[in-house]
Every structure is written in C-alpha cells, then in structure tokens.
C-alpha cells in the first residue's frame, strides 16, 4: 500500500523568508497530492493540491511541485507571515492503493512550521 514520508518534522523561519516542506510517496499509481494546513484545535484546511498530469501549481505565496519520476512533491511558501504558523500535512491518493479503494488519502506525519516575527 501507499506510504508517505514527510520532512522536516519541524521548521522554524523568520518572517519574510521562504519555507519548503518535502514529501515522498511509494505507490507510483498515486495521482492526486493535496496539502492541508491545520492550526491548533482546528480542522485540516486544504491550501493547495496537484494532480499527476501537472508538474507545478501556484496560488499567490504558495506553490507545489511534483516529480513523478522520483515520486516526491514539495510545498513552497514564500514571504512567510506569522499567520502561516501551523502544522502542514501532505497526502497522496490514487487508484489501487490502500485496501483497493480509490479516493482515500494517505497522510504524512506533518511539519510544524513556526514563523518568527
């Protein structure tokens, strides 16, 4: 079944700097890769996602890149702000994974991002 590794587990940056979080996945059949932001005590919030027919996607200060050959994808946050502080989760999904179902998500263990003012 699918396995998703996420690094680093914690990341501390100064306000205005960039932050990069990396994930690798094991199932080459995976075709959908969302990123969620979870603030303390709140729900995971979808911030950006990418499908396997695209190599890069950008939304304002947030971008995601996907390397299907190497089976890894990354989240890039530019011009970080204190309100970006949260735990970020990557996930992978796709046909044929995890119990034969489609559409379920396999999550990484999360990265705690701290942005210092």
Partner 1 sequence: ETGVTQSPTHLIKTRGQQVTLRCSSQSGHNTVSWYQQALGQGPQFIFQYYREEENGRGNFPPRFSGLQFPNYSSELNVNALELDDSALYLCASSFRAVNPSTDTQYFGPGTRLTVL
Contacting residue, 27, 44, 47, 115, with partner 1 by CB under 8 A: 44
Residue 53 within binding range of partner 1, rule CB under 8 A? no
Cβ neighbors of 60 (< 8 A, separation 6 or more) are: none
Residue 110 within binding range of partner 1, rule CB under 8 A? yes
Closest CA to 25 of 47, 44, 50: 50
Binding mask 67-96 for partner 1 (x = CB under 8 A): ----------------------x-x-xxx-
Residue 54 within binding range of partner 1, rule CB under 8 A? no
CA dihedral (47, 91, 64, 102) positive or negative: negative
Closest CA to 71 of 26, 117, 11: 26
Residue 23 within binding range of partner 1, rule CB under 8 A? no
Smallest separation, CB 16 to partner 1 (Å): 28
CA dihedral (75, 48, 26, 8) positive or negative: positive
The contact set with partner 1 (CB under 8 A) reads: 6, 31-32, 34, 36, 42-46, 49, 51, 89, 91, 93-95, 98-110
């Amino acid at each position: 079944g699918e396995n998703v590794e996420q690094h680093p587990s914690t990341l501390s940056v100064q306000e205005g700097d960039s932050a990069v979080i990396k994930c690798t996945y094991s199932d080459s059949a995976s075709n959908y890769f969302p990123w969620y932001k979870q603030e303390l005590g709140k729900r995971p919030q979808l911030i950006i996602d990418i499908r396997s027919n695209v190599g890069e996607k950008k939304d304002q200060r947030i971008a995601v890149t996907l390397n299907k050959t190497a089976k890894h994808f990354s989240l890039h946050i530019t011009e970080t702000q204190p309100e970006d502080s949260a735990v970020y989760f990557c996930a992978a999904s796709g046909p044929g994974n995890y119990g034969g179902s489609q559409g379920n998500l396999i999550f990484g263990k999360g990265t705690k991002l701290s942005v210092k003012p």
